[in-house]
Amino acid sequence: MKGRTVPLLALAAAAASHGCTEEALTNLSSDLAPGESPPTVELVIPAAELPAWRDTTYVGFEIPSTASIRLLSDRADLQARILGRFSTLPDSVFVDTVRVAVEMFDGARVRVVLDTSRSVLPPEGLEASLLPLTRSFLEDEATWQLASDGDPWDTPGGDFGQPLGSALISELTDTIFIDLDVNVDSVLTAWRDGNGEPGFGLVAEGPEGELRVRSIGLIAEARPEGLDTLVTVTRGAVPNTLVFDPPTPPTGTSLRLVGLPAARIYFDFELPERVQGLDLRGSTINRAAIEFRPLAAPQSPFTLDVPLAAAAFRLRADPFELHERTPIGETLGPFLVLDPDSLAAGGGLQLLITDFVQVWAAAEPDSSPDLRIGVRPFPEGQELGLWDFGSVEDAVALQPLLRLLITPRAAFRLP
């Protein structure tokens, strides 16, 4: 037999008429409320203890021909020079509004713009020279050892003829000029007719120091046919490829950021449904972070000596199928700082992925989003320096960690 239903307001009125001293449900103290307020707990899970974790390093997102870094160095630990071409020299110029054929080039000099904040000049200075290449190079394939894939230089660093001009740099200034003290018309005409081939090398000589180059340009004086005047022609070096020795060390099983070619970390993973007896799905995710553990600082010249920014981002496909071609999505969390001092002291690199994990925790198991993430320096191609981090293949103390700060879902029960 079913019982009679009594409206809640009627019950409250009856209690008041009989002088009842019990408090309404809405006035219960936390000690008397049904169930208990669950504590917030921190969980730390090494990568190898997750249901699945894969990580790797991909390189080549910036290469020496496209990267912004350009170096001149003659140090014992780093040989670096720039190979380039002036490939668009004109055969005619405008005089007023009339185009006139170039009869000859009367003179030329190369303008080199430096980043003085990152350049180091030894007390005795450095000599910068422009040398003609005697063999062509492929800008995307040239290295210290190779003019192109499968074609080694006769002399590592480039096969050169006699210098076209030199300048002693005794103090750091924003711009230096190297005057061409050869038969300028012969050299520039050959470059014009050959689309800049085979090119030139910009080389620094001196036992110490390093010059950071922002740009290289040619300033030439062209004489139009039949006119007693000179027209200034300027051209930038395209391409201009950095070649250096020693080469960037291979990554092995470690994870790498920065360096040249530019390196990124790609990884994917699965989250457990339960951790230490707690249901992760349905819990409140207060904070979630992936922490990468730094390995020892790399040897010179690949020591990272300035703080750099980095960013984590969503991967739109399986990075272990598409590799470097994996499409990328939105940035996850705030920008990171790769601080060499902190990394050298063992400080981890933490990627905040709270929003990412919150979506997973709120989803049904059969509709959980893919947990695929990449990390890259931002911007890329600015440094030879790099840093390696432990991977899932390393000892537990070096593996990436998942750090979670969660509040488990409350278990509501009647008193």
Sign of the torsion angle spanned by Cα atoms 307, 313, 315, 316? negative
SS3 assignment, position 345 = coil
SS3 assignment, position 366 = helix
pLDDT the model gives residue 38: 77
In the structure, what pLDDT confidence band is assigned to residue 37 with cuts at 50, 70 and 90?
A: low
Share of the chain above pLDDT 90, in %: 81
Please report how many Cα atoms fall inside a 13 Å half-sphere around the Cα of residue 207, on the Cβ side. Answer: 2
Q: Give the integer Cα–Cα distance in Å for 102 and 233.
A: 11
Sign of the torsion angle spanned by Cα atoms 252, 257, 263, 267? positive
The per-residue pLDDT for range 243-286, each reduced to its tens digit, is 999 999 999 899 999 999 999 999 999 999 998 889 999 999 99
pLDDT the model gives residue 411: 62
**Is residue 296 over pLDDT 50?**
yes
Q: Give the integer Cα–Cα distance in Å for 319 and 327.
A: 9
In the structure, what pLDDT confidence band is assigned to residue 410 with cuts at 50, 70 and 90?
A: confident
Q: Which long-range contacts (CB under 8 A, 24 or more apart) does 323-329 make?
A: 323/58, 324/58, 324/59, 324/60, 324/61, 326/266, 326/374, 328/374
The per-residue pLDDT for range 78-100, each reduced to its tens digit, is 999 999 999 999 999 999 888 99
Mean of per-residue pLDDT scores for the chain: 89
In the structure, what pLDDT confidence band is assigned to residue 207 with cuts at 50, 70 and 90?
A: confident
Question: How far out from the chain centre does Cα 220 lie?
Answer: 37
Q: Give the integer Cα–Cα distance in Å for 144 and 244.
A: 5
Over residues 286-295, the mean pLDDT reads 96
Q: Give the integer Cα–Cα distance in Å for 246 and 117.
A: 24
Q: Give the integer Cα–Cα distance in Å for 107 and 100.
A: 18
Which amino acid appears at position 303 of this protein? T
Could you tell me if 395 and 303 are in contact, meaning their C-beta atoms sit under 8 angstroms apart? no
pLDDT the model gives residue 370: 86
Over residues 296-323, the mean pLDDT reads 94
Q: ω before 64 within 30° of 0 (cis)?
A: no
Question: How far out from the chain centre does Cα 31 lie?
Answer: 53
Over residues 371-377, the mean pLDDT reads 96
Name the burial class of residue 92, with classes exposed (0-12), middle (13-18) and buried (19+) by CB atoms within 10 angstroms of its CB: middle
**Is residue 223 over pLDDT 80?**
yes
Q: Give the integer Cα–Cα distance in Å for 200 and 165.
A: 11
Structure tokens at 316: 């739109």
SS3 content of the chain, % helix, strand, coil (to 5): 15, 40, 45
**Is residue 189 over pLDDT 90?**
yes
Q: What is the pTM of this model?
A: 0.84
Q: Give the integer Cα–Cα distance in Å for 225 and 222.
A: 10
Q: What is the 3-state secondary structure (H, E, C) of 74-143?
A: ECCCCEEEEEECCCCCCCEEEECCEEEEEEEEEEEEEEEEECCCCCECCCCCEEEEEEEECCCCCCCCCC
Q: Which of 229, 119, 221, 127 is nearest to 174 (CA)?
A: 119
Q: Give the integer Cα–Cα distance in Å for 97 and 100.
A: 10
Lowest mean pLDDT among 25-34, 163-172, 321-330: 25-34
Higher pLDDT, 379 or 134: 134
The per-residue pLDDT for range 375-398, each reduced to its tens digit, is 999 889 999 999 999 999 999 999
Name the burial class of residue 162, with classes exposed (0-12), middle (13-18) and buried (19+) by CB atoms within 10 angstroms of its CB: exposed
In the structure, what pLDDT confidence band is assigned to residue 168 with cuts at 50, 70 and 90?
A: very high
Share of the chain above pLDDT 70, in %: 90
131 pairs with which residues across the strands? 201
Q: ω before 132 within 30° of 0 (cis)?
A: no
In the structure, what pLDDT confidence band is assigned to residue 36 with cuts at 50, 70 and 90?
A: low
Higher pLDDT, 296 or 21: 296
In the structure, what pLDDT confidence band is assigned to residue 2 with cuts at 50, 70 and 90?
A: very low
In the structure, what pLDDT confidence band is assigned to residue 23 with cuts at 50, 70 and 90?
A: very low
Q: Give the integer Cα–Cα distance in Å for 261 and 196.
A: 26
Over residues 282-309, the mean pLDDT reads 94
Could you tell me if 67 and 262 are in contact, meaning their C-beta atoms sit under 8 angstroms apart? yes
**Is residue 7 over pLDDT 70?**
no
DSSP letter for 260, please.
T
In the structure, what pLDDT confidence band is assigned to residue 412 with cuts at 50, 70 and 90?
A: low
Q: ω before 340 within 30° of 0 (cis)?
A: no
Which amino acid appears at position 302 of this protein? F
Structure tokens at 147: 């003019």
In the structure, what pLDDT confidence band is assigned to residue 415 with cuts at 50, 70 and 90?
A: low
**Is residue 322 over pLDDT 90?**
yes
**Is residue 9 over pLDDT 90?**
no
pLDDT the model gives residue 330: 92
SS3 assignment, position 228 = coil
pLDDT the model gives residue 409: 83
**Is residue 238 over pLDDT 70?**
yes
